[in-house]
Structures are given as structure tokens and as C-alpha cells.
Structure 1
Amino acid sequence: MTAPANEPRIHAATTPLGLFVYTLVYGGMTVLAGVLAFKQVQLYPTDLAVEAGIFAFLLLVVISSTIAQLYGEKLANRIVWWGFLPLLLAALLMQLVLNLPASPEMAGGRAEDLAAFERVHATIWRVWAAGPAAYIVSLLLNVWIFSRLRGNDENTGTISLMIRGAIASALSQAIDSVIFITLAFYGQFPITNLLIGQILAKVVLSIVLVPFLITGGVAFAKWLDSRKA
């Protein structure tokens, strides 16, 4: 059965598949980064610590750089700004769930689980508040540095891509660490070790891991875009 001639139709080929997939993953990582940030992980064998949201946040860096590389700086910035939407919805839904009464079965039979859930998520408000500030500054900075280092050359090679990715990620993530750790945890406990560990971890990972992730991300997006709908 064919659709009426005047019925609007959506063509799947309008949006490149790589862009579509990365946009979905990007939205998920914005939410997950805030949740993971509540736990601090030790950087063995040192006493330095890092908030676990770094792992999701580095993927945001990789995705935004990949989008800037393949689809342009303007579109990358747009996705960074719209990344606020899933973050905001997640925060609102968390507040809704915290304020809804627990079922009698959970309150009576799983009281410890309920208390743990509410204790963690009710005290995460500073993390949720600090996240957007650090998020928007660092990711817009990452896209800007990554694109400026590219210049007017549209046909940059793999080595150039890796170097630009490492520099942009290292600088933007160092700024992100200062903003996020200060706003989220200052006054709750001594933050010096966490701040040093966070900056160190992000800079090291930006140099060692991010260049390869961006290179792989670009190759994967190109492969997705080459597939026929």
C-alpha cells in the first residue's frame, strides 16, 4: 500500500548513519558521566584519585571531535549545546523518583537498598550542578581547539588527526577538571589529591588513548556512512 501523495515522508538517508549513531551515544554519555562522577577511583599504584565520570566524559570528547572532523565545527557545537537536554531530563526524572513514595514491598523488605539509593542520589545535586558548567566550557573548548589546529586544510592525515585530538583533549579536560572538582566537591573533603589525579589522568589519557579513539571513531563513522540504507 502506497502512502498518499500529500503525506510527508521521512527519508532515512537525510542524516548520515555515523552522525545518527554518534548522536545517540553522545546523549547517553552526558547522563552517565554525571552518575559515574559520584565515585572516586584510585589511580594505582599512587594515592591519587579520579572521579569515575572521566571515562564517559572522554567518550564525549572523542565523539565531539569526530563529528567536528567529519561533519563540521558548527554541527559539533550544536550537538554539545543540545547535550544539555538529556542531562536536564535525567536530573528532573531523578528528582521525581526521589520524591515519589517507595512501594510497601521495597520499604519493608529492602529498606537498606532504598536508603542507599536515596542517600547517594539525594546528595548528588552538587555533581549535577557542577556537571553542566564543566561540560559546556570544556567541550566547546575542545571543539574550538581541535578545529583551529586543523586550519583550512580539509584533507588532514591520520598523524595530524591524532595530534590535534590529543592537544585539544588535554587542554580542555584540564580546564574541565578544575571547574568540576571545585564546584562539586569543594568543602565536602580535601580535594587536592582528587584534583591533581583528575588532571593527571585526563592529560595522560588524552595523550595515550584519545588519539587512537578519535582515529578509530572517524574510521567507524565513515564505514557507517558508506553503508546503504
Structure 2
Amino acid sequence: MPEPIATPSTSPAGSSHAASPGTHPPSHTGRVYRYYDLVMVAFVTVLLCSNLIGAAKAAQVTLPVIGTVTFGAGVLFFPISYIFGDVLTEVYGYGRDRRVVWAGFAALAFATFMSVVVLNMPVAPFMADYQKSLQDVFGNTWRIALGSLIAFCCGSFTNSFVLAKMKLWTGGRWLWSRTIGSTLAGELVDSSLFYVIAFYGIWPLHEVIQVAIAQYVLKTAWEVVMTPVTYKVVNFLKRAENEDWFDHHTNFTPFRLRV
């Protein structure tokens, strides 16, 4: 598989190479990116849709050797948010991806708050039957909502951190190793936290473990399948943005918005 094209940035803000001793660390300050905002919007859209639409349905398929597997339908689309996270960190750096993660967290938190408010408003008599349907689809318990928020945040930051560090360790080579490796780490954190927070003590423990493992395998398998697409997107953005960020001087704390 061809390696992504690394186009050194000609801007002083670029960071395709490490800063020389005695110079100021590279910075995003002053850079205007053509596609960063679009990628952010796509990330938040996938995140909201997979949590609000996909989470409402449990799907079931029968696979060779494995047998019948039950999973949340959102698993087909939620991993795309991790692919966007990989692309953001690879091209724009951990700091830019961190802003996107917090934007996604805020959007998901607001959607959860809005669903609680709307579902608890007095319903018109002719909407009584429809209210039950809305409650079934959007009326997640506080544990599911909390588990989703915490798992997303921790899993996304883990994914971005691992990819940024692996990019330094590999010198920007072997993109496939860090996109898959970071997803293995991020999805492990995400799946483990979500199912423990949302369902421990409600489902039998063996069911919690079984479903969490099934979700983890399916999500990471998506990353492997989508690797060629990730390569194409990364190559396009690196050329279009004239950027290939290396996080040599990055503050990796998740608790900040500044790049």
C-alpha cells in the first residue's frame, strides 16, 4: 500500500519538520485551512446521526463460523467518526482534532439535553400515541446518555493521542499502522466504558462483555476495510492544505481548546 504523500509546508506555521534548536515551536497560528471546517462538520454530523438514529435499533446478523451476532445499528456508521479523527490528527495535528472532539462533545450533550426537554413537555392529546414512539427512540436513560458522552470523549482523545505519538515514532511512515493501531486503542476505551457505564447491573455481566466485544470487533474491522479510503483522503488534504503536522511540541492535555 503506497504511503501518503508528505508535502512539506512552506508557511512558517507549518510543521512538516521538527523545529530547530533555539527556535520557537511550530504553530498553527495564522494558518487558514480550506477543508478543516468541512471535516469538522462531517465529523459532528456522523457522531450525532450514529448516536441519535443508529442507537435506537438493535440489528442481528448470522455470520459464518461466528453464528448470530446482535449489535447496535449505529456501529455501521459511528466508526466513521474515528476515521475523521485519524485524518484530522494526521493532517492538522492533535490540537486541531482536540477542538473537533470538544465540538462533537458539545453537540452530543446539547442533543441529549434537547431530547430530555422535548420529551418531558406536555403532549397534545392527538399526539399521545406518537409520544410513546418518540420516547422509545429518543428516551435514553441517564446511564446510556452519560455512558455515550464519557465513552466518546475518552475514546476519541485516546485515538488522537496514540496516532499523534505513533506518527512521531514512525517518522510519518506506515500510515496504516497508526490508523489501525490508534483505532484499536480508542475503540477499546470507548466500548469498555460505554457498556460498563450504561448496562452493568442491568444486563447479565456475560451479556455486557459479549456485546462489548462484538461492537469492538466490528468497529475496528471497519477501520481496516476503510484504510484505502483513509489514504486517499489524507493524501488529498495534505496536498490541498500544504500541511503534514507532526506533534513535536504539542501539549497533549485534553482540557483545552487552544490549538
Identity %: 21
1:69 aligns with 2:85: no
Distance 1:185 1:57 in 2: 19
Select the residue among 194, 213, 216 that pairs with 1:196.
213
Query: What are the ranges of 5 or more consecutive residues in structure 1 without an aligned counterpart?
Result: 1-12
1:169 match: 183
Distance 1:76 1:117 in 2: 33
Distance 1:120 1:83 in 2: 21
Amino acid of the structure 2 residue aligned with 1:115: K
Map residues 51-66 of structure 1 onto 2, 5 A cutoff. Answer: 51-66=72-87
Distance 2:196 2:57 in 1: 15
Which structure shows the bigger proportion of residues in helix conformation? 1
Map residues 76-225 of structure 1 onto 2, 5 A cutoff. Answer: 76-107=97-128, 111=129, 113-151=130-168, 156=172, 160-189=174-203, 190-209=207-226, 211-222=227-238, 225=241
1:117, distance to aligned residue in structure 2 (A): 1.4
Segment of structure 1 superposing worse, 51-60 or 175-184 = 51-60
Aligned residues: CA RMSD: 2.5
8 Å CA contact 1:33, 1:57 repeated in 2: yes
Distance 1:65 1:34 in 2: 20
1:150, distance to aligned residue in structure 2 (A): 0.8
C-alpha distance 197-153 of structure 1, shift in aligned 2 (>3 A)? closer
* TM-score for the superposition, normalised by structure 1: 0.78
Distance 2:108 2:140 in 1: 17
* TM-score for the superposition, normalised by structure 2: 0.70
1:22 aligns with 2:43: no
8 Å CA contact 2:60, 2:70 repeated in 1: yes
Distance 1:67 1:119 in 2: 35
Aligned residues: 206
1:220, distance to aligned residue in structure 2 (A): 4.7
C-alpha distance 78-92 of structure 1, shift in aligned 2 (>3 A)? same
Select the residue among 42, 45, 62 that pairs with 1:44.
62
1:79, distance to aligned residue in structure 2 (A): 1.7
1:170, distance to aligned residue in structure 2 (A): 1.6
C-alpha distance 185-161 of structure 1, shift in aligned 2 (>3 A)? same
Distance 2:189 2:110 in 1: 25
Distance 1:98 1:129 in 2: 18
2:8 match: none
8 Å CA contact 1:19, 1:221 repeated in 2: no
C-alpha distance 34-220 of structure 1, shift in aligned 2 (>3 A)? same
C-alpha distance 150-16 of structure 1, shift in aligned 2 (>3 A)? same
1:40, distance to aligned residue in structure 2 (A): 2.5
Segment of structure 1 superposing worse, 78-87 or 216-225 = 216-225
Any idea what SS the aligned residue of 1:37 has? helix
2:14 match: none
